[in-house]
Amino acid sequence: MEIIGRQGVYVALEDDRIEKIRLVVMDRNNERIKDIIELAEKKNIKISEDRNFFNKFKRSHQGVALVIPEFQYMELDEMFKLPQEEREVVVALDSIEDVNNLGSIIRSASVFGVSKIIIPKDRAADVTPAVIKTSQGGIADVDIIKVTNLSRALKDAKSKGYFVIGCHMEGEPMENFVSPPVIIVVGNEHKGIRPGVLKECDKVHTIPMSKKSSVGSLNAGIAGSIMLYEYFKAFGV
């Protein structure tokens, strides 16, 4: 897996929690990546110069790439075996397809003390270099659990004492939150929470919006972040 572009590479290099394999550059004498090369040298990361390496990228790479290990997902059963304090608040994303929304929610989860996120295996964004870049280092704080069936995963979690809260267009005001352990469900960018997943929600909250607004809804990344903030404000997870 490769992170490309000056900003993304520099942020990843600075974060000692992200494992690095090597830094690849098109031209070691490029003044625009001088600070990146110096940082890599300071951290004793292998640097190689290879122009052909960049032929596979379809988007702008700015002549620099950081090679990191493939992302390792956690199993749901692994999460259940952890001490309660390490999994008090969990986020479940129902078919979030945009990598920027996924990265944004991971970043917010890190900020608000949430260290576990559940995503479906199919029809949803995976953890990619773009997600890692958007998370701004938050990915190092958050375990991602990939499940085959999100509804079944929520049902299993409820049998182990979790209360499931949905963030949906039609729901109760964002108050009187239930105390942990909880799972907060955020729906797809366009369709929201699917009926089968919504059925597993014990309670549904909605984010209030101005009646003057011509916008129908918030994007998933912002909605998820607001929900996490409100829950953090209530319980300080």
Domains of the chain, each with CATH number or no CATH: 2-67 (3.30.1330.30), 76-235 (3.40.1280.10)
Distance CA 127, CA 207 (A): 27
Label residue 142 by pLDDT band (50, 70, 90): very high
pLDDT attached to residue 237 = 64
Q: Is the pLDDT of residue 198 over 90?
A: yes
Distance CA 144, CA 91 (A): 10
pLDDT attached to residue 102 = 96
Distance CA 110, CA 58 (A): 30
Structure confidence by residue, pLDDT tens digits, 33-45: 999 999 999 999 9
| Global confidence as pTM | 0.87
Structure confidence by residue, pLDDT tens digits, 210-226: 888 887 778 899 999 99
Distance CA 219, CA 190 (A): 8
Percentage of the chain lying above the pLDDT 70 cut: 100
